[in-house]
Structure 1
Amino acid sequence: MITEESEEPGTPLPFFVYGTLRPGEVNHDLFLRGRTTAEEPARLPGAALYDGPGYPYAVERPGGAIRGELVTARPESYAELLAALDRLEEYAPGDPQSLYERVARQAVRTADGAPVRAWVYLAAPRVAAALRANGTRIEDGDWRSRR
């Protein structure tokens, strides 16, 4: 299960990406090229993945796990990248129309099994409720497998 972890919004954590920001996907080069120091395979326990309109949504789900990458931003690019990703994910703190919430969670690095605190964009509560009720779940937790 994903456990709630409080974090100051500007804390420079890596990002756990699971959809269009993954290497080889449409938004990777647009947003991440030249702005990162590391991109490592990882998984996010306690979550399920749902197919969206051209992009996925992660939703909290005990016993689930999704695959993606941990992306570490270059220190000099961090603030700009954080703002750009918030815009891409249509995340606006306190806005009930936000599609996603940016939260700190424990991801697990694939190479060594180490837990790593990371920012992850989860479906906002109203979106998550609709997905749980009527969404198409990606059973293996890997957005790339849906093709």
Structure 2
Amino acid sequence: MTTPLPFFVYGTLRPGEPNHDLFLRGHTRSEEPGRLHGAVLYAGPGYPYAVEAPGSTVVGELVTARAESYPRLLLALDRLEDYAPGDPRNLYERVERRVTREADGTAVRAWVYLAAPAVTAALRAHGELIEGGDWANRP
């Protein structure tokens, strides 16, 4: 079983975005603003991709699942993000990173879906960067 960590969500899973209600409503214990340092955000076709980049920050929410919902939620989010461990066709990779809570500045370990290597290369070459790293405040 995968370590039950909170999830850092930065796009369509954030409150007010379409996938929040579909996947998270009723399955979370807490949701709080957070920041992922060392990453930038690119616009994808309808959703964003976070890509590691020193000196930059992505804005999002730190979501802690209810214990009874965690296994099912992890599988559902992996499917949503087209992630399967070790699959070279992945669009995203689920990785453990430190995320900073906005409320008190503490860093916590969390699961983050980052762009997979092939997607990262394409985005760095031709992607549309979201200035400020905040999907909710994109133009």
Do they fold alike, i.e. is TM over 0.5? yes
Q: Does 1:122 align with 2:100?
A: no
Summarize the alignment of residues 1-147 of structure 1 with structure 2, pairs less than 5 Å apart.
10-147=2-139
Rounded to whole Å, the distance in 1 between the matches of 2:104 and 2:32 is: 11
Rounded to whole Å, the distance in 1 between the matches of 2:86 and 2:133 is: 28
Which amino acid in structure 1 is aligned with residue 34 of structure 2? A
Rounded to whole Å, the distance in 1 between the matches of 2:6 and 2:86 is: 23
Which amino acid in structure 2 is aligned with residue 142 of structure 1? D
Shift of residue 146, structure 1, vs aligned partner: 1.5
Which amino acid in structure 2 is aligned with residue 89 of structure 1? E
TM-score, normalised on structure 1?
0.93
Shift of residue 145, structure 1, vs aligned partner: 1.4
Runs (4 or more) in structure 1 with deviation over 6 Å come to: none
Q: What's the RMSD between the two structures over aligned residues?
A: 0.7
Rounded to whole Å, the distance in 1 between the matches of 2:97 and 2:33 is: 16
Aligned to 2:133, what secondary structure does the other structure show?
A: coil
When the two structures are aligned, how many residues end up with a matched partner?
A: 139
Rounded to whole Å, the distance in 2 between the matches of 1:99 and 1:122 is: 9
TM-score, normalised on structure 2?
0.98
Rounded to whole Å, the distance in 2 between the matches of 1:54 and 1:120 is: 18
Shift of residue 93, structure 1, vs aligned partner: 1.2
**5+ long unaligned stretches in structure 2:** none
Residues 40-79 of structure 1: per-residue CA shift (max 9 Å, x gap): 0000000000000000000000001000000000000000
Shift of residue 97, structure 1, vs aligned partner: 0.8
Shift of residue 94, structure 1, vs aligned partner: 1.3
Residues 72-126 of structure 1: per-residue CA shift (max 9 Å, x gap): 0000000000000000000011111110000000000000000010000000000
Rounded to whole Å, the distance in 2 between the matches of 1:146 and 1:67 is: 11
Equivalent pair of 2:12/2:18 in contact (CA under 8 Å): yes
**5+ long unaligned stretches in structure 1:** 1-8
Residues 111-147 of structure 1: per-residue CA shift (max 9 Å, x gap): 0000010000000000001001110000110011124
Q: Percent same amino acid at aligned positions?
A: 73
